[in-house]
Amino acid sequence: MKEIIELQKQMRDLLPKKRYVHTLGVSYTSSCLAMRYGADPVKAQIAGLLHDCAKYLTEKELLQEGKRLGLSMTKEERRSPQLLHGRVGAWYAKERYGIEEEEILSAICYHTTGKPNMSLLEQIVFVADYMEPGRKMIFGLEEIRKETFLDLDRTTFLVLSNTIAYLRECEMEIEPRSIEALDYYKKKGEGRWNS
C-alpha cells in the first residue's frame, strides 16, 4: 500500500490550502470512524486523503476526463460536471496515485453523491466529508457529529437529507443516485428513526 506520507505530500502540492486542510480533516475523521465501526483505519485514511483529488478540474476538464475514462454520464452529471469529481477522482487515485484496493477506490467514487447500500468504508468517507472539523458550522452539524459515532446509518440518512434539501433550495442538480440513497436509508430506518 502507498505510503501515507507520500500521498499527503502530493495532496499538499496539488490542492489549495483550504481544500488541503479539509482533506486532512476527512482523512483523520475517516480513520477514527473506521476504528469505531471496525473498518480498516489505514484504508480509511487513504480514501480520505484522496477523496477530492479531482475536485479542482474545471467543468470542461471533468467532462473530458469522464469521456476519456468511458464513464456513462447521467444528464445531471452532464449539466453539473462537479458531480463527477468523485468518479473521476477514483480513476486518478488508481492511475496517478497507485491505489489498487477497490474498497478505497469506491469510497472515493461515491463520496460526492452517496448511493444505496454503501459499504462501510463508502459510508464512512461520505459522512466524514460532511462533518470533519474544518466544515463551516451549519444548523444541525453538532447533532450530526455526535450521531456519527453512535449510529452510522442514521447519520448517512441525515447527511443525505440535508444535502438534498440544500441542493433543492439552491436549485442545483441532484444526482438520482443520491435520491435513491436517501430512499434506501429512509427505509432502513423504518421503525428506528423514521417511525
Q: Which residues bind Fe ion (CB under 5 A)?
A: 52, 129
Query: In the bound complex, what is the minimum distance in angstroms from residue 15's beta carbon to Fe ion?
Result: 10
C-beta closer to Fe ion: residue 56 or 190: 56
49 and 15 Cβ atoms separated by less than 8 Å: no
C-beta closer to Fe ion: residue 71 or 189: 71
* Identity of the residue numbered 125: V
Query: In the bound complex, what is the minimum distance in angstroms from residue 54's beta carbon to Fe ion?
Result: 9
Query: In the bound complex, what is the minimum distance in angstroms from residue 157's beta carbon to Fe ion?
Result: 19
C-beta closer to Fe ion: residue 52 or 175: 52
C-beta closer to Fe ion: residue 76 or 129: 129
Whose grid coordinates read 482523512?
A: 27
Q: Is the dihedral of CA 104, 14, 82, 28 positive or negative?
A: positive
In degrees, rounded to 5, the angle at the alpha carbon of residue 40 between the alpha carbons of residues 65 and 98 is 35
Q: Checking phi first, is residue 38 left (phi over 0); if not, alpha (psi -120 to 50) or beta?
A: left
Please give the full DSSP string across 98-130, using - where no structure is assigned: ----HHHHHHHHTTTT--TT--HHHHHHHHHHH
Query: In the bound complex, what is the minimum distance in angstroms from residue 85's beta carbon to Fe ion?
Result: 6
Query: In the bound complex, what is the minimum distance in angstroms from residue 195's beta carbon to Fe ion?
Result: 32
C-beta closer to Fe ion: residue 52 or 122: 52
65 and 59 Cβ atoms separated by less than 8 Å: no
Query: In the bound complex, what is the minimum distance in angstroms from residue 160's beta carbon to Fe ion?
Result: 15
Distance of CA 95 to the CA centre of its chain: 19
Residues 6+ positions from 143 with CB-CB distance below 8 Å:
158
C-beta closer to Fe ion: residue 73 or 193: 73
What H or E segment, with its residue span, contains residue 173?
Answer: none
